[in-house]
A and B are shown apart, each in its own frame.
Chain A
């Protein structure tokens, strides 16, 4: 179990990590999700022991390891760049951590072959990394991290330098590989989509702070605050500020959105309403759905889906619809917001939904 207790990291006057507390269990996959410079790499360096926190402590299996250098900890790292020993074969690359640890030959051979099979590298064991594709090189780096049998494996955007399709393939395999290894995995990414595909737990980061930590799909569906919801949305989250009056959220332009039953008790004031692009639709999704007239700005078609960028009042929304939609620019169309799928945030950005509902 890896525990960060009120960890802070400052560099000069800049705070890179602000008061982070986090507990990661053995055998878990933990995604750090946030944009560039949100503190993902800084946090990983603290976890690895490459950096020492300015305040707070790091615990591993009940032992305070705060000042312990990385060499003495049992950690492995995989980077965005494909880092392997270029002069060694794939076999020797994977075997290297075991050789350093002084394992006996039979054990080395067995573990290298098992790990290679897990990562589908068996046919390439005799090649050197530079004769492999990017995907295979990164698989080799992953195999080396896994064979080390480290208590903590840190992956810093490991798929960022791969082609889209290779990324997709490796991403689909990773949960299986992680499950087989049974150690603590920490996986940094900028892409919400990647976090969802990996599953496990997700911690969303913004400006050096962890805004929420929990099972990935829960964080996605029930964010505690607006920052988390925005971090965890691709395409970007649609938002609009509405005033609550009795049983409705109102906007002067004519929006009248019924307040969901579980939020009936909240105060009459301004709220930020957020909803995912696929919850904005052309067809009425439910009897309670609210009709809104918005102006088309751009339509992007992916073949199976269309992203329609819409201007409404002073905000820009994206609607994700199945099929191919053709609209003239500046055309005004009727779209529907489903009140069953809205997220409501108060003026400070906190979710207005009571915490017990969020946990459910």
Chain B
């Protein structure tokens, strides 16, 4: 796109800069400040240097939570992206089915995080929840409160239910932008269903998929509310993700220094991973 150079434009950006400064930069600097100091309350601080960082990076608790996060993100990406593409491919492209499908798909996205958590907490209960009760009636020993495996399944199911729609909607937007002539040409060329997907639909969805993967990765890596509501990080520490751990340290134990150090490390990891995803995928896109 062509760009117009006009210095007045900076004045228009100013309010946003001020807002971002107050909402992001200043809190972040505060956190940096905490991370290198120790406090016993009363606003008395002592210089602690890199002590909290060293402690954090050598703690098993941190690395375990980290691995849990990565495994969780990997699993939900592996489920939601293909599933989202699959649903988008099978959605109607015209007619009355389009608005119906779009509304159905948008529904889970409209529900607040903590409500989603509550819904699944109830849904999965063995005594009154539809899912839990049904599973038990079928003979499964399902109990997300006691069984780490069941807890994971529940949290993953919940995330898939909540967020696959986003992938679907993004992919659908990419798909409907493909002109009919492409499908007609593919028919004439005798292309199989798979070839149409591989050479027409997937290339046209490239960009939206990049956005979908980035959004889903960042969101899932920072997941907090839903597992907190459903499992509270348990049983044991089995669903204690970085964010939950962080809140435990900061609010539960009121260890501001270690919590701040962890926040920064956490923030840098998300930033780094997003950057890696972005570079890899854009390079793949242009290197084709």
Contacts and interface: CB of A to CB of B under 8 A. Distances in A.
Task: Report A-B touching, CB under 8 Å.
Answer: yes
Interface in B1-50: 2-6
B2 A51 contact: yes
A11 B6 contact: no
A52 B6 contact: yes
Interface residues of B, number: 5
B95 to A, nearest CB: 20
A220 B190 CA distance: 49
A13 to B, nearest CB: 14
B6 A67 contact: yes
Interface string B228-257: 000000000000000000000000000000
A42 B3 CA distance: 12
Nearest to A11: B2
A8 to B, nearest CB: 13
A52 B5 contact: yes
Interface of B: 2-6
Nearest to A50: B4
A52 B7 CA distance: 12
Contacts of B3: 11
Given A50-B4, A51-B2, 10 more contacts: A11-B2, A11-B3, A16-B2, A42-B2, A45-B2, A51-B4, A52-B4, A52-B5, A52-B6, A67-B6
Interface string A12-56: 000010000000000000000000000000100100001110000
A156 to B, nearest CB: 15
Most buried by B among A16, A42, A52: A52
Contacts of B6: 52, 67
A50 B1 CA distance: 13
A52 B4 CA distance: 6
Contacts of A52: 4-6
10 contacts: A11-B2, A11-B3, A42-B2, A45-B2, A50-B4, A51-B2, A52-B4, A52-B5, A52-B6, A67-B6
A51 B6 CA distance: 10
Nearest to A52: B4
A50 B4 CA distance: 8
A42 B5 CA distance: 15
A11 B2 CA distance: 6
Q: Which 6 A-B pairs have the closest CB atoms?
A: A11-B2, A52-B4, A51-B4, A51-B2, A52-B5, A52-B6
Contacts of B2: 11, 16, 42, 45, 51
Contacts of B4: 50-52
A67 B8 CA distance: 11
A237 to B, nearest CB: 32
A11 B3 CA distance: 8
Contacts of A51: 2, 4
Nearest to A45: B2
A321 B18 CA distance: 73
B245 to A, nearest CB: 46
A45 to B, nearest CB: 8
Contacts of A11: 2-3
Contacts of B5: 52
